[in-house]
Amino acid sequence: MITSKITSKGQVTVPKKVRDSLGLNEGDSLAYEVHENKAVIRRIPRVDIEWAGAIENTLNEWTDGLDDEL
């Protein structure tokens, strides 16, 4: 079992074995899910900015205002 402590400010250092196992790097984001008395921590994948920019013009259905008329 890998453990860590919470600081007085509620901060936790993610142990190196966990960082390595999850492929975590500086600036990565984590998601927390709480189920009863257990927490699950997972890495949130980074958004590929180049890909998001490439598909931006195909997503106009959410910004065209046509749904507002219904």
pLDDT tens for the chain, 70 residues long, are: 999 999 999 999 999 999 999 999 999 999 999 999 999 999 988 877 787 777 777 776 666 666 666 5
Largest CA-CA distance found in the chain, in angstroms, rounded: 56
At residue 38, the pLDDT reads 94
**Closest to 17 (Cα-Cα) out of 31, 28, 4:** 4
At residue 68, the pLDDT reads 64
At residue 69, the pLDDT reads 63
Give yes or no for a contact between 46 and 64, defined as CB atoms under 8 angstroms apart.
no
* Cβ contacts of 46 within 8 Å, gap of 6 or more: 28, 29
